[in-house]
Chains A and B, each alone.
Chain A
Amino acid sequence: MRKRSWKRLTAAVLASVMALSLAACGGGGSGETQAAAEGETQAAGDTGAADSGEAASGDQITISFMHRFPDEPYNSFINAKLAEYEEMHPEIKFDINATANQEYKEKIKVVMGGNEKPDIFFSWVGDFTERFIRENLVLDLTPYLEEDPEWKDSLIESQIAQYTTDDGMVYGIPFRLDCKLFFYNTRIFEENGLEAPTTWDELMDVCEKLKAAGITPISFGNQETWSASHYIGTLNQIFVPDDVRAKDYDPTSGEFTDPGYVEALEYYQALLPYMTENPNGVQPDMGRTMFTMEQSAMYFAELIEIPYMQADNPNLEYGMFKFPEVEGAPGNQEILTGAPEGFVICSETEHPEECVEFLKWFLGPEVGKEQIQEIGWFNAAKGTTDGVTDQALLDGYDTIMNATAMGPWLDNALYSTVCDEYLTAVSDLTNGDVTPEEAMARIQAKAKEAQTLVATGATEEE
């Protein structure tokens, strides 16, 4: 009997161990085939000169390409462009891998730690890519841009500046431009005799009137917590001076003790009575859907959301205005919140030249023109607006072009643990579970911990 119970015990222990290890099994890639193929092509290249018939396939290069747009029509557009490039360059073959936004953020980190790093991959500006730069995993594009002034001149400088480190290293080329603007329903505004607000007080006034008329002033969903970060990021820019913010966003020196941060949260709180009820229970894109279905009067949207809105309701009449100014606020009100998104090249690629050549075309004016027409996204090449008739798109484009400064997304700018605490605290604040002061106290504690985490991280690299 004793023996049997031991057997059972071991079995149970084993079972739980197994269950646990199954849970721990995450991503993992299946890129071996590609490596094998590369090995083969190399072998063929060495010996294949003799039979000229096979030469073309012998010189074939495979470029692995990872992006985060598996949804339509974006995925098809990218696939079509890549296929087009393959046709123009028979020696190049793409190995495409598309993963949805949230999963992509995690997947790319795992892939970059393995042996099957992609040659070209999508990456956000700011700390998201800079973490890879710290590990020397990203190709410096500066020399390539210097070498080809024509290419450099064809790109919008202010947008390339976003993909540049403080040391002047250009590490990525934008695929789509973006910024955050308030969108408003012109029909609802007209019916209620309202005008687009330019100051905070006017915004409050408009909200009050809309609410009195029984209309949800601003639709907002914060079930995914990054959504609120667009408000907070903008408000931080308004209430915290540039130099203080720069110091706090840097994980090695972040403290978040400036009273402006609390004020920013208080202004966010002031908006809540005018937003969708229980935003923490609403998906962010539900907020957009409510706006496009004319169930709310305003929505704080990204420029790149225009195509989605038009797909939902082509008859929607809307205008845009910048985040209203707060009189006398100590921060920088000129900053337009938003950053371009684009592609970077892995420093360990075997074909840097080919990858750069491809990006010149893929993110250049020629494809850019088709891109805006077909999927409604601008890339960073100059002169892509020819033939664009959509006024909303053109207005958005002008806003970006005229911005004197752009501010990164808060969730890309912050160190991940600080960011997580920030978003979690704001989520609690949204539910009314904590006060702005309590929220900032939590963030300050995390920022302090992050300083030591970054410090231990730094010693490891030496």
Chain B
Amino acid sequence: MKTKKRTPYFYMLPGVLMVLLFVYIPVLTNIVYSFFRLSSYSAGQTFVGLDNYRRFFTDPVFPIMLKNNILYCVISLIVQVGFGTFLALVLDSTLIKGKAKNFFRNLYYMPALISLTAVGLMFTFIYEPNIGFLNKVLEIFGLEGHSWLGDSKLAIFSIIAMSQWQFTGYITLLMVVAFQNVSQDYIEAAKIDGAGPVKRALTIMLPLAKEQLLVCTIITVIGAFKLYTEVYATTSGGPGNSSQVLGVFLYQQAFLHDDLGMAAVTGVFIFVVTVALSILQIRITRSGEI
């Protein structure tokens, strides 16, 4: 009996070691690094206490980054999760039938398959002010074009719009799967009781797909705070610092300015924010309860 109790732990050991080695230890060393001034190629490091934190929080770019990440997060929640779920409900409903269902599902999902860098490059062409696709289309309708990525006020929204195009279909796919798992019994019962499609969606489908919805929101929120490639591949934070975000800032501190301490502080900040938001979401939705 004793051996039996111990055996499972042996099976867990490799996994635990891997997680320790690749997740927990780096996170801890990252926190340690945030108190030092060091670069990637120099041997020495200087203890600077909380100075990196002071510099990070007093940097005039900090509020801009926070604003941009939050904007990305909120808009993504509304469009990707909100509209994506709506699309999923439509796809799952009787409005669309048979093969069309599959066709649209795949169509919406397609952009998510393209590499982020490729999408970024593609959109720099689409957004190009002089010969770009978007301005040419606007021209046809007699509308005025813009320098989408070159205007300090528009740049971050242009990047956010690009991401919505890419990932709404991804959330739709995840939600369609969740809705398909909802037992037909409940839906039939509701139908017999006279519930219309809207009521069915609100009272049956959504509550039963709650867990999946939670996963989707967590993915979206975490994605919003570690946003990197979309910005790096289009504006790199410009013009000025108008589209700067935490992820790109972290990278630039580490590999452009040889300031790994500042990069570590940024990493710690992203970590704290994402963990806090995840806990909050789980609490609010009371995950695990039906």
Most chain A beta carbons < 10 A, residue from B26, B44, B150, B252: B150
Pick the contact of A460: B27, B42, B152, B289 (CB < 8 A).
Answer: B42
Do B40 and A113 touch across chains, with their CB atoms under 8 A apart? yes
Do A278 and B151 touch across chains, with their CB atoms under 8 A apart? yes
Pick the contact of B149: A15, A223, A459 (CB < 8 A).
Answer: A223
The residues of B that contact A56 with a CB separation of less than 8 Å are none
Q: Quick one: given A8-B287, A282-B129, A456-B37, are A420 and B256 in contact (CB under 8 Å)?
A: yes
In the assembled complex, A398 has its CB within 8 A of some CB on chain B: no
Main secondary structure of the interface of A (DSSP, over half): helix
Give A20-31 as 1s and 0s: 1 = Cβ < 8 Å from B's Cβ atoms: 110110100000
Give Cα A424 to B152, complex, Å. 11
Give Cα A430 to B151, complex, Å. 10
Pick the contact of B256: A15, A106, A276, A449 (CB < 8 A).
Answer: A106
Give A283-324 as 1s and 0s: 1 = Cβ < 8 Å from B's Cβ atoms: 100100010000000000000000000000000000000000
Pick the contact of B48: A18, A282, A431, A456 (CB < 8 A).
Answer: A456
Q: Quick one: given A20-B270, A278-B150, are A223 and B235 in contact (CB under 8 Å)?
A: yes
Do B147 and A13 touch across chains, with their CB atoms under 8 A apart? no
Most chain B beta carbons < 10 A, residue from A8, A278, A461: A278
B125 to chain A, nearest CB (A): 9
Pick the contact of A5: B30, B271, B288 (CB < 8 A).
Answer: B288
Give Cα A105 to B128, complex, Å. 26
Give Cα A224 to B237, complex, Å. 10
Q: Quick one: given A17-B24, A277-B129, A281-B149, are A424 and B240 in contact (CB under 8 Å)?
A: yes
A443 to chain B, nearest CB (A): 13
The residues of A that contact B286 with a CB separation of less than 8 Å are 5
- The bracket for how many chain A residues form the interface is 35 or more
Residue of B nearest to A434 (CB): B240
The residues of B that contact A416 with a CB separation of less than 8 Å are 256-258
Residue of B nearest to A428 (CB): B240
In the assembled complex, A166 has its CB within 8 A of some CB on chain B: no
Give Cα A234 to B217, complex, Å. 50
Give A360-379 as 1s and 0s: 1 = Cβ < 8 Å from B's Cβ atoms: 00000000000000000000
The residues of A that contact B226 with a CB separation of less than 8 Å are 19-20, 23
Do B274 and A431 touch across chains, with their CB atoms under 8 A apart? no
Q: Quick one: given A14-B23, A15-B218, are A281 and B240 in contact (CB under 8 Å)?
A: no
The residues of B that contact A417 with a CB separation of less than 8 Å are 257, 259
Q: Quick one: given A12-B278, A278-B151, A459-B46, are A420 and B26 in contact (CB under 8 Å)?
A: no
Pick the contact of B124: A12, A14, A223, A428 (CB < 8 A).
Answer: A223
B216 to chain A, nearest CB (A): 13
In the assembled complex, B93 has its CB within 8 A of some CB on chain A: no
Residue of B nearest to A9 (CB): B282
Give Cα A105 to B257, complex, Å. 11
Residue of A nearest to B125 (CB): A283
In the assembled complex, A453 has its CB within 8 A of some CB on chain B: yes
The residues of B that contact A425 with a CB separation of less than 8 Å are 240
Do A17 and B23 touch across chains, with their CB atoms under 8 A apart? yes
Most chain B beta carbons < 10 A, residue from A9, A18, A20, A286: A20
The residues of B that contact A224 with a CB separation of less than 8 Å are 236
Those of B16-46 within 8 Å (CB) of chain A: 19, 22-24, 26-27, 30, 37-46
Do B238 and A223 touch across chains, with their CB atoms under 8 A apart? yes
Give B140-164 as 1s and 0s: 1 = Cβ < 8 Å from A's Cβ atoms: 0000000111111000000000000
In the assembled complex, A135 has its CB within 8 A of some CB on chain B: yes
Give Cα A19 to B223, complex, Å. 9
Do A1 and B289 touch across chains, with their CB atoms under 8 A apart? yes
Do A460 and B46 touch across chains, with their CB atoms under 8 A apart? yes
In the assembled complex, A16 has its CB within 8 A of some CB on chain B: yes
Q: Quick one: given A424-B238, A461-B42, are A16 and B129 in contact (CB under 8 Å)?
A: no
A15 to chain B, nearest CB (A): 7
B164 to chain A, nearest CB (A): 20
Pick the contact of B279: A13, A17, A26, A131 (CB < 8 A).
Answer: A13
In the assembled complex, A214 has its CB within 8 A of some CB on chain B: no
The residues of B that contact A132 with a CB separation of less than 8 Å are 41
In the assembled complex, A387 has its CB within 8 A of some CB on chain B: no
Give A69-113 as 1s and 0s: 1 = Cβ < 8 Å from B's Cβ atoms: 000000000000000000000000000000000000110011011
In the assembled complex, B138 has its CB within 8 A of some CB on chain A: no
Do B239 and A24 touch across chains, with their CB atoms under 8 A apart? no
In the assembled complex, A437 has its CB within 8 A of some CB on chain B: no
In the assembled complex, B130 has its CB within 8 A of some CB on chain A: yes
Pick the contact of B255: A21, A26, A434, A457 (CB < 8 A).
Answer: A26
Give Cα A19 to B273, complex, Å. 13
Pick the contact of A13: B30, B257, B258, B278 (CB < 8 A).
Answer: B278
In the assembled complex, A237 has its CB within 8 A of some CB on chain B: no
A50 to chain B, nearest CB (A): 42
A150 to chain B, nearest CB (A): 35
In the assembled complex, B241 has its CB within 8 A of some CB on chain A: yes
Those of A237-259 within 8 Å (CB) of chain B: none
Most chain B beta carbons < 10 A, residue from A137, A224, A281: A281
Shortest 7 CB-CB contacts between residues of A and residues of B: A281-B150, A278-B147, A281-B147, A280-B150, A428-B240, A113-B41, A460-B44
- Given known contacts A16-B275, A17-B27, A24-B26, what 5 new A-B pairs fall within 8 Å (CB)? A14-B23, A110-B40, A281-B129, A416-B258, A428-B241
Residues of A within 8 A of B (CB): 1, 4-5, 7-9, 12-21, 23-24, 26, 105-106, 109-110, 112-113, 131-132, 135, 137, 222-225, 276-283, 286, 290, 416-417, 420, 424-425, 427-428, 430-431, 433-434, 442, 449, 453, 456-457, 459-461
19 contacts between A and B (CB under 8 A): A5-B286, A5-B287, A9-B282, A23-B247, A26-B254, A105-B255, A113-B41, A135-B41, A137-B41, A223-B124, A223-B238, A276-B130, A277-B129, A277-B147, A280-B151, A280-B239, A281-B151, A420-B256, A430-B239
Residues of B within 8 A of A (CB): 19, 22-24, 26-27, 30, 37-46, 48, 55, 60, 124, 127-130, 147-152, 218, 222, 226, 228, 235-241, 247, 251-252, 254-259, 267, 270-271, 274-275, 278-279, 282, 286-289
